[in-house]
Chain A
Amino acid sequence: MLHTQISSMSLNKGVIQARLDKFDAIFIEHPRLVALREEIDSLMIQTKSRIAKNERRRAAVGNRPIKLDELWLTPVLGPSGSGKSFSLSSVVDTIYGDPNLPPDEIPVLVVTLRSSSRSPRHVQAQILEAFEAPQAETVLRGRDYSEAMVNDDIRAIARHRKTSVVVLDEVHNLLANGLGLAPKMAKALKSLVNDGIFSIVLSGTQEAMPLLTCDAELQSRQKELVDFGAFRLNSDDLQYFVNFVAFLEAEMVKEKVIDAPIGLTNDIEACATVYDMAEGVIGIVSRIVRLALERALRGGKTMITWEDIGNAYRAWQMASPTKGPDGKSGKNRDPFLKGPDHRTLDAMARSLGTNQEVAA
């Protein structure tokens, strides 16, 4: 299972960076990404239609203030490293890549929320900042503040830029200063949606859940959750997971990131080890493989060994403490030292069949 091939010459920095760049450029279409793209496309179309309807209604009454039809909110939740942000970036890049899109239009705006967000004012300022509007500064620091007035301003900018969906990434940061902020933040998000400004995609970890559940009205505006959680030990999920890992490895060889395959999905045991290593989260597989690649290239090797993967896993795990089985802080079980969990092995065997079938 272990492959070792040590190059006689150490690699220069240019070659190392070139190979890392090639690895970073690998893009794998996975079912969740497809689901997210479909969800955002659908949300954009529906939002545009409703905004147009609201505008027509407003024009019909001579631009007098009316009760606007509300827009929607789509949660995208998953653990850290599950590929939410990467998937969102890829969806947004695809939208921006449309050659027919005028240069001053921003159909989807991505706002990465900071953990210093303590009030709706901070959220509004960060949205304005993402639009590169200079008034973000005065919203944050000015004397006269009115939430409705700032929403008016954001609406005007959004209409000018033809923005229909705003993605609030790292939304769990809204509760970084305490769960007590949840009702206030939920109301702020609700007013953005209720005022018919744009639809919102909330992307973050499960820690953002109180934000979605504390306000009944906000719940009523929610669309179906796009789940980026770990792949579970059932047949479909495991198929997706193993296919993803296999595809990643094949792409690495094809793009000449490594000279020979690692064998991550050669047999049931390998698949189970990779699954336990990443706890079913595909983003973690990519990260650990990249760390291993860096280690190998620095050591003058042009391919990755299981030993590199194991070392990279331990280095990564040291830097990112996770909760243990008892719910307290602790390290996960190391599959490279103790072998894969028997439950994982059983589930893999059930869903993938024998080793010969896997290899085939």
Chain B
Amino acid sequence: MLLDPHVITVSLEKVKPFIVTEKPAPGESLLGFISRNLSQTATRRLGPGLALAGIGTLRPESLPRTLEDPRQVASLAKLFNTTADEIEARLYRTTALAGSNTVAISFNQVRIRAGFREGRIRRVSPIALRSSAVHRSLWELRPFTFDPETLEHLLDTCPVCSRKLNWIRASEPQMCNHCLDEDLRPIIDLRDFPQSLVEADDVEALTLAPRLLSHVPSVRSDARASISAPWCDLSESELFETIMSISFSLSHDHAHRMGVEWRRKSTELGSLSPMTLCRVSRSILDGGKAFDALLEELRSGRATRKGHYGQFVEFGQMGGVRKNPHMSSAAKAMVYDAISRVLASRPMERRFRGPQQRSEDSVDFVEASLIAGISRQCIKKMASAQLLEVKRGGHRGLTRCVKPTDVLAIAAELNATIPDFEVERQLGIDRLHFSFLESAGLLIRPRVKLRPLLPAGTNYTAASIEALLARLRYPLENDGKAVPINEAVLTLCMDPLPWSAILTVIATKPGYGMKLAEASSDWRTDIFVPDIARFKLEVAEVIDDLPPTTRVVTAVGAAEILGTTVNFVGRAVKRGALGKLPGRPARFDQQSIISFRAQYIYGSELARHFGVSNTNTVHRRLTVRGILPAFSCVGRDLIYAREGLPGVLN
């Protein structure tokens, strides 16, 4: 949406309260409360409404997550004549799931995945609005497609105009914010369009997940108390995530490839069937045996899971529960225990191509893939890379056989690797720096023979990444005059910043650490430098040791050094003015860029020098003096030789 350009965000000291306001209702969402109150005033857009509280935002729907400044919280409370605590209780503070790096929000003091919250679209229950016309915070959660009070399916589209309900224009919760009369008053009452009810006999199970997130603490604790062993030991957050993870694995069992099932698009999170949720919740409520029964039920569908191996074929995505990044380790262990129990009662069925004649310690590739849970192609690759000892077997002595223990060992080694893009995400620095970190011994690549089996790109061992991250999260010993790293790096006066050297210094030299290390901490902001002078010295020492391979810059870095745009760097390369390193994406030798800059100057930099806004003006001025570009046809940002410009530049 667009912020109304004519409305000025008032300063926090000058915020005046609205005269006619209503109090926030229990369980009401923050956006619902703001929208309900603004709909009583002449300010009918959330953006300008928030501007009156001194909050300038282009995305009002993200306010519950982004409002962090206590002064802004206080001013918002003042504007709507309520207390800061009432506002605070409706905010979703960013945090992380227990034992996981998944970004989470605190929803009524229960941590849930941030992706579960639907920000843009307003969903309502017309029947629930008849009893109380307030927007409930639980309606903001994508996995709940129904209202827990009335069991009515939620409505997110106006039945008259067929447009999605949203938060851009403030309206009463029961009205469509698109359908307006000529005086801009809403005319369509959504309460006139009741939705169908969820046909569920087991209401207790259906409402278990919503009750775990209730705004009333006693309802949450009661919901938790109703759960049987072994799940009752888990927290509300862990229980909710377990129910959701299992429900999603069930609802998308056959629709997608198994390997990527834990990474869902946010829109898919809204397609959870209430019946699936009810089924999973019941198995959790009734404890161990009920969950085992659910797993047995999943096993019965193994014939439909063609093309999969190991536990995947037995339990669908539930078989890959160990890879779920959102569930806590305790919850994963409980699910895995149940899987083991079920497998112990009835071992995995195995498919064979024909009559097999196995040696005692060797199996063919098909069986090895079933045992290890990896594809047959992968085992073939292992064999061709001479990682496995292959023997001939079978009834005709032609089948290639391997030892399952060897396969399992290599599979474990493969699983313990992380691709460079994932490392990039975890460390938060460009992969260009990795080679230096590798040479410093901070990142370790898997052994050479394993590399052809891994995905394209560079991979690193998970152990080395974990060790590096653990080192970065050391507590700060002496925080007397410690300076945050993001401020300390500015004192280096370098552009671009030598992140590999900085990271090396932090990881290898003593004294650096975090004041408060959490799972969501980012080393680039949360690390503290105890002594700036020592830090600069240490970084300089490391840079001196920098091998030439790390002195490579991307097109963006080259553009920064040259003072132009990436587009014009590309054009200069095309005209042969600038040389790049072979391969894609384009990379440049930093030294050659620096020497190019010493020799040539871009028109845009000259324009800044002359204090004019147009490079054409620069070109005209220089042409009058008989100075022509060093390279022709390089677009509008021309390149001039510095040696021809001494008089001009001075």
Contact = CB atoms under 8 A, between A and B. Distances in A.
> Looking at chain B's contact residues, is the secondary structure mostly helix, strand, loop, or mixed?
loop
Contact of B19 (A133, A137, A146, A147): A133
A135 B6 contact: no
Interface stretch (B8-16, B151-159, B372-380, B415-423): B8-16
Interface stretch (A150-158, A203-211, A212-220, A284-292): A150-158
B8 A137 contact: yes
Contacts of A153: 40-42
Interface string B44-83: 1100110110000000000000000000000000010000
A142 B43 contact: yes
A137 B17 CA distance: 13
B44 A149 contact: yes
B7 interface: yes
A161 interface: yes
B40 A146 contact: no
Interface of A: 124, 128, 131-135, 137-139, 141-144, 146-150, 152-153, 156-157, 160-161
Interface in B161-184: 169, 182-184
> Looking at chain A's contact residues, is the secondary structure mostly helix, strand, loop, or mixed?
helix
B267 to A, nearest CB: 30
A157 B185 contact: no
Contacts of A143: 4, 6, 45
A138 B20 CA distance: 16
Contact of B18 (A134, A147, A148, A152): A134
Residue with the greatest number of chain A CB neighbours at <10 A, chosen from B8, B16, B44, B184: B44
A135 B20 CA distance: 11
A148 B185 contact: yes
A148 B41 CA distance: 12
28 contacts: A124-B42, A128-B42, A132-B16, A133-B18, A133-B19, A134-B18, A134-B52, A134-B79, A135-B18, A135-B42, A138-B48, A138-B52, A139-B42, A141-B7, A142-B7, A142-B42, A143-B4, A143-B6, A143-B45, A144-B44, A144-B45, A148-B183, A149-B183, A153-B40, A153-B41, A156-B20, A156-B40, A157-B19
A141 B49 CA distance: 12
Nearest to B184: A146
B19 A160 contact: yes
A152 B7 CA distance: 21
B43 A135 contact: yes
B40 A137 contact: no
Contacts of B52: 134-135, 137-138
Contacts of A157: 19-20
Residue with the greatest number of chain A CB neighbours at <10 A, chosen from B52, B79, B169: B52
Contacts of A150: 42
A73 B52 CA distance: 33
A135 B41 contact: yes
Contact of A142 (B45, B182, B183): B45
CB-based closest 7 A-B pairs: A141-B6, A148-B183, A153-B42, A146-B184, A138-B43, A134-B16, A150-B42
B20 to A, nearest CB: 5
A133 B41 CA distance: 10
Contacts of A156: 20, 40-41
Contacts of A137: 7-8, 10, 52
Contacts of B17: 134
A138 B4 CA distance: 9
A197 to B, nearest CB: 13
A144 B44 CA distance: 7
A144 B48 CA distance: 11
A132 B48 CA distance: 17
Given A137-B8, A149-B185, 19 more contacts: A132-B19, A134-B16, A134-B18, A134-B79, A135-B52, A141-B6, A141-B7, A142-B44, A143-B4, A146-B184, A147-B183, A149-B42, A149-B44, A150-B42, A153-B41, A156-B20, A156-B41, A157-B19, A157-B20
A150 B44 CA distance: 10
A132 B42 CA distance: 14
Nearest to B18: A134
A276 B217 CA distance: 82
A161 B19 CA distance: 8
Given A128-B42, A149-B44, A153-B40, A160 B49 contact: no
